[in-house]
């Protein structure tokens, strides 16, 4: 019975979130349709193009300059937090906070173990101005990220990305090559 339970559990886990694709197999003039699992290859991170601004500020009072490989801790705006807390109630909100703190700490630990520094900038400056090693600039408007909770992952040879997930494995491999 234990073996059947393990097999059934594994089948359930494998089938969760997958999209079946029909594959036709011919057997003695009959066509049998067998579902084939399609692996979801979505990334744990996304482009920051949603928060990118084309006009980079020149006044240093407006931006935080990032010119080295690192991860930046991002938390939502306090107005957004207060609104969500009211809508969810205390226990629902506490669960959201606990989940975000846990996965964020796991991510930062994974990054630090691979020599990637993470930092929280306690600043009212509106922009992050990323300088790549080819001296190109990628500027992010923090006001477009008021509801984001996670990390900005930046390597000087790539554009920064936003991570908010339960695992950093693909991000560390893709972004930092570690």
Please write the tens of the pLDDT for every residue from 67-126: 999 999 999 999 999 999 999 998 899 999 999 999 999 999 999 999 999 999 999 999
Say if residue 27's pLDDT is above 80.
no
How far is residue 11's CA from residue 25's CA, in Å, rounded to a whole number? Answer: 22
pLDDT surpasses 80 at 16: no
- How sure is the predictor about 178, in pLDDT bands with cuts at 50, 70 and 90? confident
Return all residues near 100 (Cβ < 8 A) that are at least 6 apart.
149, 150
Is the per-residue pLDDT at 149 higher than 50? yes
Averaged pLDDT for residues 153-176: 93
Mean pLDDT of 144-153: 95
Q: For residue 22, what pLDDT band results from cuts at 50, 70 and 90? A: very low
- Enumerate the domain spans of the chain: 2-38, 45-176
Residue 34 banded pLDDT, cuts 50, 70, 90: very low
pLDDT at residue 83, rounded to an integer? 93
HEC per residue, the chain: CHHHHHHHHHHHHHHCCCEEEEEEEEECCEEEEEEEEECCCCCCEEECHHHEECCCCCCCCCEEEECCCEEEEECCCHHHHHHHHHHHHHHHHHHHHHHHHHHHHHHHHHHHHCCCCEECCCCCCCEEEEECCCCCEEEEEHHHHCCCCEEEEECCCCCCEEECCCCCHHHHHHHHCC
CA nearest neighbour of 120 among 73, 51, 54: 73
């Amino acid at each position: 019975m234990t073996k059947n339970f393990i097999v059934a559990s594994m089948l359930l886990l494998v089938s969760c979130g997958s999209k079946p694709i029909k594959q036709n197999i011919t057997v003695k003039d009959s066509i049998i349709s067998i579902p084939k699992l399609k692996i979801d290859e979505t990334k744990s991170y996304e482009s920051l193009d949603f928060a990118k601004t084309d006009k980079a500020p020149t006044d240093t009072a407006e931006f935080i300059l990032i010119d080295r490989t690192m991860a930046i801790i991002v938390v939502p705006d306090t107005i957004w937090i207060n609104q969500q807390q009211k809508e969810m109630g205390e226990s629902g909100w506490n669960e959201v906070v606990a989940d975000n703190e846990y996965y964020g700490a796991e991510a930062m630990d994974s990054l630090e173990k691979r020599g990637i520094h993470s930092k929280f900038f306690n600043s009212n400056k509106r922009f992050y101005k990323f300088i790549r090693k080819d001296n190109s600039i990628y500027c992010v408007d923090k006001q477009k990220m008021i509801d984001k909770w996670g990390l900005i992952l930046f390597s000087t040879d790539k554009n920064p990305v936003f991570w908010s997930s339960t695992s950093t494995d693909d991000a560390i491999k893709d972004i930092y090559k570690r």
